[in-house]
Amino acid sequence: MEVIMSNKLIVIADAKNAIFYKAVGLKVTEQNSQINADDFNIEHKHPPRREGFNHVGSTPSHFFDPHSEFKNLERDEFCKEVVNHIDSVCNHEKFDELIIVAEPKTLGDIRSNLNPKLKTLVTREISKDLIHADKTSIENHIFSN
């Protein structure tokens, strides 16, 4: 089996953290960088609960909570920051491949925020939470068939 020695950027992410690794061939060589949602002060204010609601005859008597949960909004904002960081890293170094490993919802949010240039670099997407895995485990999950 012939192994192509291409430069790869591996992104391991969950809803609050992202770790960026460099890989050459089938070997993860080094950690490039790491970002955390707390670094970006991503917070959505929770609206106050409606207490003492008095029904007036001409107004609706039901109150519905918003359909989007705040943790989903925060995850989406963090995924936009992850994509911005990927773009920044790819502008400073040349990578032949982009491999994204993230939990399912985070993977979907990252995928939806990628620009067309970055989408052409993506060679693999793995729906798995490996944020706490070591380099050997990451290599095993990504490069084993």
pLDDT tens-place string over residues 48-67: 555 455 555 555 555 555 55
Is 63 a domain residue?
no
pLDDT tens-place string over residues 70-80: 778 888 899 99
- 27 CA to centre of own chain: 22
The per-residue pLDDT for 67 is 57
Percent of the chain whose predicted confidence (pLDDT) is above 70: 77
Is 74 a domain residue?
yes
The per-residue pLDDT for 25 is 87
* Nearest CA among 115, 84, 75, 73 for reference residue 11: 84
The per-residue pLDDT for 1 is 42
The per-residue pLDDT for 68 is 59
The per-residue pLDDT for 13 is 94
The per-residue pLDDT for 8 is 94
Return the CATH number at 27: 3.30.420.60
Split into its structural domains, the chain has a count of 1
The per-residue pLDDT for 113 is 94
- 48 CA to centre of own chain: 29
Q: Which residue has the tokens 């067309």?
A: 116
Query: Strand pairing partners for 100?
Result: 11, 125
Is 1 a domain residue?
no
Query: Which structural domain, as residue segments, surrounds residue 127?
Result: 7-42+69-143
Q: What dihedral do alpha carbons 134, 42, 72, 121 form, nearest 10°?
A: -50
Is 50 a domain residue?
no
Low-confidence ranges of the chain (pLDDT < 70): 1-4, 42-68, 145
The per-residue pLDDT for 80 is 93
Is 61 a domain residue?
no
The per-residue pLDDT for 59 is 53
